[in-house]
Structure 1
Amino acid sequence: MNLLASMRYLVALSEHRHFGRAAQACYITQPALSNALRALEGEFGVVIVKRGRTYAGLTHEGEAVLAAAHRMLHENEVLQQLLKSEEAHPRGSLRMAAVPTAIPILTRFAGRLQARHPGIAPTVLSMSSVELETGLESLSLDIALGYTERMHVREVKLTAWPQSIEHYFLVRRSAHTQALQIGEPIGWAEAGRLPLCLLTPEMHNRAILDQAFAAAGVAVAPAIETNSVLTLALSVGTGEVCAVLPGAMVDAIRSHGQLEALPLVAPEVRTPIGFMTQTAVRPSRALEAALALIQSPEWQQEVAAHSGALRGTPSFLS
């Protein structure tokens, strides 16, 4: 039995929650995956997978084996990168995730990292805060960009690298502009009476906005709800709804004409965004390179220019 391969199959099954899809992701047949997992159970003398007509989850012992599998695969990747990398040329994969509204920042960061280190192959994922925190805890993610105010939700100890303080804008269509315009501030109470497209309730961003509307004394019933930031942004340009977007998302749609972004006030809502990693985990060469870029002056200047309050911009973004 190839223990490392079997551990990889177990992780795939946990992620896909389906034998067929897990086998497909591992480029093996479903019987081969099932046989490998049965051999793993024989090796440890415990039942790992709850079996029925469909995948029914892992047993308590299976969860313990899964945690060990994540650690084993992480250490294997760290070793592989150490052996394959040259001193100034790190090589290997890097799994990164961001909460949906921070995806523009993470995408920009991944591009800068890959340009600086062509041997690094970043994977960029969009996740809810809960999924992001689970990924950091299980080591299925190397680094994540999200709400640092949630760092103590789990028992796992995290280290954060602050990136920006998010400010929020009401974005709406405007027939009077050819480029995205930064308009005069608008109160949350007034914005809450407009037809809005908002993220779905399980997203932490939605909780932030709901608290702001409640503080302004208005109960919001969204015209559209979505778990897609693309839908969130496009709904404004294609329909009659407005959206509440953080500075990074406003910057990402700067090329869209006939849009206006109004800073939201009363109350002032500011949310810290940062990169996070597990504190006690040995970093791979790719992660070391990413952390060096995060702390570089050129990246800090770039993220400041494309997120937060968008300070220093003219009256319009072009």
Structure 2
Amino acid sequence: MIDKLEYLIALARERHFGRAAEACGVTQPTLSAGIKQLEDTLGVLLVQRGSRFMGFTPEGERTLEWARRIVADSRAMRQDIDALKRGLSGPLRIAAIPTALPMVAALTTPFRARHPDVRFTVISSTSIEILNHLENLEIDAGLTYLDNEPLGRVNTVPLYRERYRLVTSPGAKYGDREQVTWAEIAELPLCLLTPDMQNRRIVDGLLAASGAVQKPTLESNSMIVLFTHVRTGQWSSVMPAMLADSLGLTSELRSIPIVEPEITHSIGLVVPHREPTTPLTAALVAEARRIAPRLNQDLGMGRDPALATLTP
């Protein structure tokens, strides 16, 4: 039964029979037969079939909710029993919004020191993708905004406050200022994240609230792309203060506080709202709560939190 529920979850994620079968490591006929057997067992039609996947029936949507719960509990049970035998081990999958990626090391480094047999996979995702990944059991935890857009049913651990800076060259317009307003930075040639990123939606909202109309001259879903363009001296960008510092400011770049208004947003860990949770997820939540006070202290003192985790 569990394997058939896994097929259903994969189909919900991939929206395609062939890709779902590939994700499950089976042939497409095997996956289709498994879902048909699940339908026969439950006595209802779960999938709207045609020449391609056309969605779930109402009964299929309800079954999918139960499938996610049952499969998650099954995985948690196996991991819990395995942890009793060997301690915490195995894979831990984390997704983070691009602006929080440099902070992942501040969490994974002390965690690995406590649990050396754990292996990490870290991916970059939008805030919406992180919630979808959690729902479809593709990740164990995410790092994302906690106080800007709805999160749904997740448990959260606040880690730090994101503050915004204009990153630009000293010779650029406003490059010699100690602070700059949102209305003023709208006059600059900006490179920003793409609109599917929540950071971009926050920046757009702050620019609009200042009365400015701004269209970036370059968009990317990669902070590295933005940073390399800013380093040419011909572009400017809006970045979180911590991210700008971690990428390595030089004498050719400045990180200038943005005011009027000076806004912050909470970044933190999100995990599935589920009891019992897996031992790995529970340990990660405990680590996040342990490092949060120090994280905020290091950021307030201008130190790199990822490096701070390496010292007593």
- The bucket for the TM-score relative to the shorter chain is 0.7 to 0.9
Q: What TM-score comes out, normalization by structure 1 length?
A: 0.83
| CA drift at 1:140 | 4.6
User: In structure 1, how many angstroms separate the alpha carbons of the residues matched to 2:210 and 2:27?
Assistant: 56
Give yes or no for the alignment of 1:240 onto 2:230. Answer: no
Report if the CA contact (8 A) 2:161-2:264 is conserved: yes
Q: Offset at 1:50?
A: 2.3
Task: Supply the distance in 2 between the matched residues of 1:71 and 1:277 (Cα, whole angstroms).
Answer: 14
Per-residue deviation at 1:222?
Answer: 0.9
The answer to whether the 8 Å contact 1:171/1:242 transfers is yes
From 259, 284, 294, give the equivalent of 1:301: 294
Counterpart in 1 of 2:163? 167
Verify: 1:203 aligned to 2:200, yes or no.
Answer: no
Identity %: 34
Q: CA RMSD in A?
A: 3.0
Structure 1, residues 144-197: CA drift from partner, whole Å, max 9, x if none?
22221147553x3x4322111111111224589xxxx99732222221111111
For the 8 Å contact 2:13–2:136, the answer to whether it is kept is no
Asked if 2 retains the 8 angstrom alpha-carbon contact of 1:147 and 1:272, the reply is yes
SS at match of 2:30: helix
Match of 1:216 in 2: 210
Contact 2:160 2:295 in 1 (8 A): no
Which sections of structure 1, spanning at least 5 residues, go unmatched? none
The correspondence for 1:84, drawn from 82, 85, 105, is: 82
- Deviating more after overlay: 74-83 vs 237-246: 237-246
- Alignment size in residue pairs: 302
Q: Structure 1 pair 266/5, CA: closer, same or farther in 2 (3 Å)?
A: same
Q: In terms of mean alpha carbon deviation, does 188-197 or 83-92 score higher?
A: 83-92
Matched AA of 1:301 = R
Partner SS for 1:276: strand
User: Structure 1: which amino acid aligns with 2:263?
Assistant: V
Q: Are residues 112 and 56 of structure 1, via their aligned partners in 2, closer, same or farther at CA, if it must alter by over 3 Å?
A: farther
Normalized against structure 2, the TM-score is what?
0.84
Moved beyond 6 Å, runs of 4+: none
Q: 2:32 aligns with which of 31, 34, 47?
A: 34
Q: Matched residues in 2 for 1:214 and 1:60: separation?
A: 41
Asked if the contact 2:168–2:230 (Cα under 8 Å) also holds between the matched residues in 1, the reply is yes
Structure 1 equivalent of residue 224 of structure 2: 230
Structure 2 partner of 1:66: 64
In structure 2, list runs of 5 or more residues that go unmatched: 305-312
Give the partner amino acid of 2:192: L
| Counterpart code for 1:103 | L
Residues 43-58 of structure 1 mapped to structure 2, 5 A cutoff:
43-58=41-56
Structure 1 residue corresponding to 2:180, chosen from 183, 186, 193: 186
Aligned to 1:291: 285
In 2, are the aligned partners of 1:48 and 1:62 still within 8 Å (CA)? yes
